[in-house]
């Protein structure tokens, strides 16, 4: 657990330019506080200690506004940026070096027992306000756009945006990463397929209008010659 804690602190230093020193990170980062409490609660959950893990989770939610069920499995290097409103369900599994922003929900669907929450791969970035529901798999190095609602699996090295979320590829290729082993935190620079479609329609309308003008001009000239 202490090795994971060191990785979590290192992740904050690497990914948040506002993190100036170790003392500030330890005292002022609610995401880290929630994660430390979760790692303790999760170990108690694995030991099948009754009630206490849920009490720790409940108290942590009250103090940090971050709710992580003690049953969730979270890898090392996990970074919750800002963190307010984050909810992580019981059967969620999160890989290493994952970054999520405020308002993210990793939730379940239905009343069935068993695996009912998402599985997040390694080096994934989930933008602010994104919602991922059900036992879907988010592949390694994927990016989920801010406000997206993900209901289906997202392949590795891809980007999902929209409501419901759609996987968007750049020129049919994988979304490029600056470094293979570092998360790409530019979740504000994602493709917008709806905007692309509207721009294409606007361009087509202009082309049709020009064509109509040409045809009308041709009729007028023909009438004058006649």
Return the minimum-mean-pLDDT range out of 32-46, 55-69, 198-212: 198-212
Better-predicted residue by pLDDT, 213 or 154: 154
What number is the average pLDDT over the span 181-198?
61
The pairs formed by 181-185 with CB atoms below 8 angstroms and a separation of 24 or more are 181/97, 181/123, 182/14, 182/97, 182/123, 183/15, 183/97, 183/98, 183/99, 183/123, 183/124, 183/125, 183/141, 184/125, 184/141, 184/143, 185/15, 185/99, 185/125
pLDDT at residue 1 tops 80: no
CATH number at residue 75: 2.160.10.10
Q: Is residue 169's pLDDT more than 70?
A: no
Residue 184 has pLDDT above 60, yes or no: no
Query: Does residue 90 or residue 189 have the better pLDDT?
Result: 90
Residues 179 and 207 in one domain: no
Instruction: Kindly tell me if the per-residue pLDDT of 87 is higher than 80.
Output: yes
153, 178: one domain: yes
Mean pLDDT, rounded, of the chain? 85
Kindly state whether residues 49 and 116 are assigned to the same domain: yes
Q: Which pLDDT value is given to residue 90? A: 93
Tell whether 197 and 182 lie within a shared domain: no
* Whether residue 168 sits in one domain with residue 196: no
Number of domains into which the chain is organized:
2
Tell me, yes or no, whether 56 and 151 share the same domain: yes
Residues 159 and 202 in one domain: no
pLDDT (average), residues 142-151: 92
List all residues 6 or more positions away from 10 whose beta carbon is below 8 Å from its beta carbon.
77
- Tell me the pTM: 0.74
| pLDDT class of 177 with cuts at 50, 70, 90 | very low
State which residues form the domain around 201.
192-226
Residues 172 and 222 grouped into a single domain: no
185 vs 118, more confident: 118
Q: Quick one: pLDDT at residue 55?
A: 96
What average pLDDT does this structure show over 89-97?
94
Looking at the structure, tell me whether residues 106 and 208 fall in a common domain: no
Q: Is the pLDDT of residue 165 over 90?
A: no
The stretch 119-134 carries a mean pLDDT of 94
Query: Do 49 and 69 belong together in one domain?
Result: yes
Indicate the pLDDT class of residue 181, thresholds 50, 70 and 90. Answer: very low
Confidence of residue 175 (pLDDT cuts 50, 70, 90): very low
Do 196 and 107 reside in the same domain of the chain? no
| Same structural domain, 34 and 121 | yes
């Amino acid at each position: 657990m202490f090795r994971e804690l060191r990785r979590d602190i290192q992740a904050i230093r690497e990914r948040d330019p506002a993190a100036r020193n170790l003392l500030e990170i330890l005292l002022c980062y609610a995401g880290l506080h929630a994660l430390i409490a979760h790692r303790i609660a999760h170990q108690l959950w694995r030991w099948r200690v009754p009630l206490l893990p849920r009490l720790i989770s409940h108290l942590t939610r009250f103090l940090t506004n971050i709710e992580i069920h003690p049953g969730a499995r979270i890898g090392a290097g996990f970074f919750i940026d800002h963190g307010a409103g984050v909810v992580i369900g019981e059967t969620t599994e999160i890989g290493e070096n994952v970054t999520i922003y405020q308002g993210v929900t990793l939730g379940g669907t239905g009343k069935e027992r068993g695996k009912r929450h998402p599985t997040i791969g390694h080096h994934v970035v989930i933008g602010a306000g994104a919602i991922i529901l059900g036992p879907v798999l988010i592949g390694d190095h994927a990016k989920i756009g801010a406000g997206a609602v993900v209901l289906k699996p997202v392949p590795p090295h891809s980007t999902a945006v929209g409501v419901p979320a759609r996987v968007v590829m750049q020129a049919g290729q994988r979304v490029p990463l600056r470094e293979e082993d570092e998360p790409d935190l530019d979740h504000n620079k994602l493709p917008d397929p709806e905007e692309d479609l509207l721009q294409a329609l606007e361009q087509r309308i202009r082309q049709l209008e020009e064509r109509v003008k040409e045809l009308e001009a041709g009729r007028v000239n023909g009438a004058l010659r006649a």
